[in-house]
A = this chain, B = another copy of it.
Amino acid sequence: MTKVKPALPKGMRDFGPDQMARRNYIVAHLREVFERFGFLPLETPAMEKLETLTGKYGEEGDKLIFKVLNSGDFLKKADREALETHNLTRLAHSIAEKGLRYDLTIPFARYVAMNQGRISFPFRRYQMQPVWRADRPQKGRYREFVQCDVDVIGSTGLLSEAELIQIYQMAFASLNMSIRIRVNNRKILEGLAGYLGVENQFTALTVALDKLDKVGMAGIRPELAARGLLPKAILDLEKLIEKRSWSLDQLGGLLNNERGQEGIAELRRIFSFLPGAARGNVEFDLTLARGLDYYTGTIFEVTAEGVEIGSVGGGGRYDDLTGVFGLPGMSGVGISFGLDRIYDVMEELELFPENMEKASQVLFVNFGGEAEAKSFEMLTRFRLLGLRCEMYPEAAKMKKQMKYANARRIPFVIMLGEEEIKSSMLQVKDMQSGSQTLSTEAGALEMIRAALETQ
């Protein structure tokens, strides 16, 4: 076999035991909150038909979809003309009919449309799976990352928005993470476009606002001008943005058009479900836009406090996500948690509890020969009683076995050598204190259990 240098594809990562323990910690906390809010789990396949994915994430998004080469003779259906004219998009579609999941929202919409007859609406689902994007990797941005999504589909009730805000609050509180939830409404942005007289440049406006945090007003000004906004409109926008902390009341007095008023009324209703302290970390932000086209109402974005890492979650209401799959008029609202970003924040702020690895609680030393079989019998009894334990798989030198127990942070070591077997006793070593005790099996069990409980 040809030798291969072991390496990972660009932007992809392994997660060893230490990281897995931390990732599982986050996932378990999210899952618990999702289920407490009555959401049910769903999983969709890693691959979708390419036609399901393309055209949903904008032109840039389409380019970032990983395409899977058709199996067998992939050249048979190859678009020869596209090959000769170097039309990469058309050629790719002719040799790759499948793509990797790019987010969880479109597969969810596809699932709902496919199973509409079997689902009781409103359908509350959560989904925690990896997605893949052929993005340029950088700090906090990976080519494989896990999204944790929660959606309610099949109702226009604004109560759902309030619930999703609560999910953000409770989930992050359970992880000890301080966050800020910014909320806006696409109808308010439409109202804003009306106020500025730029209804026809709505997309340009939202795309620009989306970049505001990163590049500032100076950064978006040229783009807005290039997209046809008149200097007066840009100046008016600038004035609005300068005073960032608009209250709904203040904005209500300004946006004298129906769409804007509608959006304001929606946010007022949502906030009415979150009185007093419940609104604590939730704020209305006129400049929040969320890039995705399918949002039609409330939009959310969550940032972590105390770190510069971008958003750790976001979402919004969509009125017609399933329409393209033949199921029109299904309003829904959803939010997403970015597991990898949350992990990075928690690492940076040292929010993970210590010693989360579920390593063995007891290591049985392997003395070989008959002692090996006797130790293994006892090990099996310990396991049946629910203790996590293991035995060194061969009769290596004692020093090596102890070094292993230390490296794995195994708190107790049991030694059952020939001498101990004769006297029906064993030695228990507490690896932290270093103390070693001669004990019966029952005595050792009791001692270990008591010590583990107080940890």
A contacts, CB < 8 Å to B = 1-9, 12-17, 20-21, 23-24, 35-38, 40-49, 51-52, 55-56, 63-64, 66-69, 71-75, 83, 86, 88, 91-92, 95-98, 100, 110-111, 113-115, 118, 120-122, 124-125, 130, 132, 134, 144, 152, 155-157, 159-160, 162-163, 166, 170, 272-273, 278, 324-326, 357-360, 363, 366, 372-373, 376, 380, 383, 386-395, 403-404, 407-408
Q: How far is the CA of A48 from the CA of B49 in the complex (A)?
A: 21
- Contact A38–B144 (Cβ < 8 Å): no
Q: How far is the CA of A122 from the CA of B357 in the complex (A)?
A: 17
Q: How far is the CA of A17 from the CA of B38 in the complex (A)?
A: 12
Known: A2-B55, A5-B326, A88-B73. A46 touches B46 (CB 8 A): yes
Known: A9-B48, A134-B71. A14 touches B42 (CB 8 A): yes
Provide the residues of chain B in CB contact with A380, threshold 8 Å. 166, 278
Which of B35, B71, B359, B394 contacts A66, CB < 8 Å? B71
Q: How far is the CA of A130 from the CA of B46 in the complex (A)?
A: 9
Known: A35-B358, A156-B394, A387-B36. A45 touches B13 (CB 8 A): yes
| Given A38-B363, A120-B408, 10 other A-B residues pairs in contact with their CB atoms under 8 A | A2-B51, A4-B51, A8-B49, A37-B383, A37-B389, A38-B360, A45-B144, A69-B95, A73-B88, A122-B392
Chain B nearest CB: distance from A50 CB in Å? Answer: 9
Chain B nearest CB: distance from A21 CB in Å? Answer: 7
Chain B nearest CB: distance from A396 CB in Å? Answer: 8
Which of B8, B36, B41, B324 contacts A20, CB < 8 Å? B41
Provide the residues of chain B in CB contact with A71, threshold 8 Å. 63-64, 66, 134
- Contact B69–A40 (Cβ < 8 Å): no
- Contact B159–A391 (Cβ < 8 Å): yes
- Contact A74–B92 (Cβ < 8 Å): yes
Give the most central of A40, A69, A98: most B CB within 10 Å: A69
* 22 pairs, CB–CB < 8 Å, chain A vs chain B: A6-B52, A6-B325, A12-B47, A15-B42, A15-B43, A16-B118, A17-B40, A35-B388, A38-B359, A38-B360, A38-B363, A38-B389, A45-B144, A47-B132, A71-B134, A74-B88, A120-B403, A120-B408, A122-B392, A122-B404, A159-B391, A170-B383
- Contact A21–B41 (Cβ < 8 Å): yes
Q: How far is the CA of A132 from the CA of B366 in the complex (A)?
A: 39
- Contact B393–A159 (Cβ < 8 Å): yes
Known: A43-B15, A68-B66, A388-B38. A393 touches B88 (CB 8 A): no
- Contact A43–B20 (Cβ < 8 Å): yes
Chain B nearest CB: distance from A325 CB in Å? Answer: 4
- Contact A14–B159 (Cβ < 8 Å): no
Provide the residues of chain B in CB contact with A366, threshold 8 Å. 157, 159
Q: How far is the CA of A134 from the CA of B73 in the complex (A)?
A: 12
Q: How far is the CA of A160 from the CA of B366 in the complex (A)?
A: 12
- Contact B324–A376 (Cβ < 8 Å): no
Residue of B nearest to A92 (CB): B69
- The copy count of this chain in the complex is 2
Known: A71-B66, A166-B380. A390 touches B45 (CB 8 A): no
- Contact A67–B68 (Cβ < 8 Å): yes
Provide the residues of chain B in CB contact with A3, threshold 8 Å. 324-326
Provide the residues of chain B in CB contact with A115, threshold 8 Å. 14, 16
Give the most central of A72, A157, A325: most B CB within 10 Å: A157
Chain B nearest CB: distance from A127 CB in Å? Answer: 9
Residue of B nearest to A152 (CB): B393
Residue of B nearest to A71 (CB): B134
The 10 closest A-B pairs by CB, nearest first: A38-B390, A157-B393, A157-B394, A17-B40, A71-B134, A38-B360, A12-B45, A120-B407, A20-B41, A6-B325
Provide the residues of chain B in CB contact with A21, threshold 8 Å. 41
- Contact B45–A14 (Cβ < 8 Å): yes
Chain B nearest CB: distance from A168 CB in Å? Answer: 14
Give the most central of A41, A98, A363, A383: most B CB within 10 Å: A41
